[in-house]
Amino acid sequence: MGSLKYPHVFDPLDLEIIDRVYEAAWARVEARNPFRNVDSDGERREALRKFVMTCAAEGKIEFDALYERVVAHMP
């Protein structure tokens, strides 16, 4: 059996907030890097998705707080 990557259980509202934070963070990536190689966007989006989930597992799930944690530590 595989191990759980994210042992934290999220309720539906948490998942909606996480999704919105991900979308807002991705919009920030697009705005800050308009001339990026879009061929690599799939890899970037997957890395960002994992990063948002990692940040979500570290604290309370509130949009503003989670978004600030994500953008403060985004490369």
- Range(s) of the domain holding residue 47: 12-73
Predicted pLDDT of residue 58: 84
- Distance, CA of 13 to CA of 29 (rounded, Å): 24
The pLDDT value given to residue 60: 82
Q: Is residue 3 part of a domain?
A: no
pTM above 0.85, yes or no: no
45 within domain boundaries: yes
Provide the number of structural domains found in the chain.
1
Note the pLDDT of residue 74: 85
Q: What is the DSSP letter of 60?
A: -
pLDDT at 6: 52
Q: What is the mean pLDDT of each run of 10 residues along the chain (75 residues)?
A: 60 96 97 92 95 90 95 87
Residue at 63 is within a domain = yes
In a domain, 7, yes or no: no
State the residue for tokens 């705005």.
Answer: 31
